[in-house]
Structure 1
C-alpha cells in the first residue's frame, strides 16, 4: 500500500496528459495570451502548461514572468493539500473488486506483462486500483520514459505548484478552479468500472500509440504551437470513450468562474495547454463572450 501512495503522488498534476482527444481550432502559436476588453480594468493572462515540465522551463518563456508580474492573482486548476494525500489515494482503490476479475485471463496476462516491463510490478500489485488510475499512471510513466532527456534538463517544481508558490510569496491571491477531490472523481469515477477495465486493455494493446503520443505532445508543446498540438491530438484513436468531461465540460464550468475573477482583479490563469485551443477551448470561449484574446509575443 505504501508503494501505491508513492506512485499516486505523480498523478496529482497530470490530468491534462490523458485528455488528448478534442477538435483543433485557430488558436495559433503562443503559450501566453492576453485577455482584455468587456469592461476589464486591467488585462489578465492565460498560460498553457505542461504538467510534467517544471519551473526551470519557465525561464525559456519570458512572457510568463513578465505577465505574472503584471497581475494581482494567480488561478490554477487545483491546489494540492499534502495532508489529504492518503485519503485522496483511497479514491483510486476498489475495496470489493479486482481488475483481473473484470477482464479475461488472456487480457490479464497482457496487462500484467506490460506493467512488469514498465513498472517492475505485475497486475496483482495494482489489482484493486481502479483501472482508470492504472491508465493515468501508465500514461505518466510513458511520458517520463519517452521524454526522459528533456525532462531531466528541467529540474524543479511542477509549473502549477511553482506558480502558486510564487503567488503566495508575492502576496497575490491564489484561486483553484477545482479541488483535487473533484479531479480525482473525474478521473476515477466518470466511467463504470467495467468500462474502465475495457479501456485499460485497449490502452495496453495500443501502447505504441500511447508512448509515441506522449513524446509527440511534448515535442509540439515545446514549439509553443497550440493549433498544431490540437491537430495532432485530434488525430489520435478515439476508441477509449468520449473525453469531453476532461476538457470541454471543465472549460465550460471554468467560464462560469473566470469572468468574475478577472473583473475583480487581474489574473494569471495557468491551466493545461490542451484547455486553451479548439472551438471549445478557453481562448475561443473567452472570445465568444466578448473578450479580446491575443498572444503575448
Structure 2
C-alpha cells in the first residue's frame, strides 16, 4: 500500500503495520507528551482516590514467555525487529566538524525508576551540555500547560453536547468505567474527553497513575527539570497544541476503534507495558511494535487507511518537525536532545533526518 508521495506504509517503520488499536496502545505511552500533560492536569483536578494505595508495577515479560512457549513466533518477531533501520540503541552521539558533540536520547514517557536512570553515559553527556532540548518545554509549567491545552478545548473535548458514552456499547462503557475506576478516575469526570485521551488513560497501568498522583516526573519532564536546576537553556521542539492537533486531525471512527480495542485488553496492558519497558531498557526499540502486534489479538476489521494516516501524522510528520527545529540548536553544539524513542528509527526517523543535515550519529554503548 502506498500513500501520497509514493511512501510505502509497510516500510514506514520497518514492519507490517498493525491494527489501529494496536498502533495506538503501542505508541501512546512512548510518543505523546501532551497525553501526559492532560493526565497530570486531570489528576490535579480530581485527586484520585487510590493515590496512597500500594500498587505493584511488576508484570510478565511477554517476549520471554513467547521465546519459551512459541519459539517460531519469537523468531518471527526478532526477524521483524532486525529489519528496522536504527532499531537498536536509544542513546546516540551527534557530531559535525567544528562543533562540540551533542547527544540524542530516545525516551519513554513513564515514571519507572529503571527508565529514569537513563543508559550508561547519558548522565555525563547531560551534565556537559549547555542546552537541553525536549519535545515540549511547556511540560515544565503546569499552569502554562493548562492554558495551552484549554485554549483549544475543541481539540481534546466534546463541545457539541456529546459524551464518550454516547458512542460506546453497554459492554464497552462498563469496561471504560472499570478501567478508569482502577486508576482512581470517576467516569463522570471525564465524559467529555475525546477517545484518544481516554485510550491513553486506560493503556497506562494503574501503577503509573499512582506515581503521577504522588508527583513523580516522567523521564522527559525530569530531564527538563534537571536542566532548569543546572542553569541550562531549555528548548522545546513542539507546542502542546501542535501535538493535540495532530491527534485531532485523525478520524473519530479511528479513535473509537482504538479505544474499544485498548479496553478489550484489560489487565493485559500491564504485561504489555512491562514488556515494552524491558525492550526499551535493552535498547531494542525496533522490537517494540512487532511485540505489541504479536501479543495482541488480530483485528479483522482493520482500518488500513486510518492507521496509515496515524503513522504519517503522528510519527513521520512530527519527525520532520523535530529534526527541522532541532537544526539551529544543534548548529551551536553541546546539546542534549530527548524525544520519544519511537521517533528515532527508520528511513524517516530523527536519526536519518539529522544525518541528511550533515551530522554523524553514532550509537553510544
TM over 0.5, shorter chain: yes
Determine whether 1:228 maps to 2:287: yes
* Aligned residue runs from structure 1 range 231-242, under 5 A: 231-233=290-292, 235=294, 239=302, 241-242=306-307
Structure 1 pair 168/109, CA: closer, same or farther in 2 (3 Å)? Answer: closer
Give, in angstroms, the shift of residue 176 of structure 1. Answer: 0.2
Structure 1 residue 209, shift from structure 2 partner: 5.7
> Any residues of structure 2 matched to 1:174-253 within 5 Å, and which?
174-187=234-247, 189-207=248-266, 210-233=269-292, 235=294, 239=302, 241-242=306-307, 243-244=310-311, 245-253=313-321
Report how far residue 256 of structure 1 moved.
1.3
Tell me whether 1:26 sits opposite 2:26 in the alignment.
no
CA gap 1:40/1:4 in 2 versus in 1, 3 angstroms: closer
- Is 1:72 matched up with 2:72? no
Report the number of matched residues: 275
In structure 2, distance between residues paired with 1:196 and 1:287: 34
**Aligned-residue offset at 1:194:** 4.4
Distance 2:349 2:293 in 1: 13
Give per-residue Cα distances to partners, 1:91-138, cap 9 Å, x unaligned.
53223211122233444344334444x335564443221111100111
The answer to whether 1:262 aligns with 2:321 is no
CA offsets per residue over residues 239-288 of structure 1, 9 Å max, x none?
Answer: 47423222211101112112221112321111111111223221222234
Q: TM-score, normalised by structure 1?
A: 0.77
1:126–1:217 distance in 2 versus 1, CA, 3 Å: same
Residue 94 of structure 1 corresponds to 158
Assess if the C-alpha contact under 8 Å between 2:103 and 2:336 holds in 1: yes
1:74 shift after superposition: 0.8
Partner of 1:6: 42
Q: Is the 8 A contact 1:25 1:227 kept in 2?
A: yes
Q: Does 1:41 align with 2:115?
A: no
Find the residue that maps to 2:110 and give its secondary structure: coil
Unaligned runs of 5+ in 1: 10-21
In the superposition, the TM-score normalised over structure 2's length comes to: 0.64
1:285 and 1:230 map into 2 onto residues whose CA distance is 21
* Contact 2:92–2:105 (8 Å) recurs in 1: yes
In structure 1, the partner of 2:233 is: 173
Provide structure 2 residue ranges, at least 5 long, that are not aligned to the other structure. Answer: 1-38, 46-79
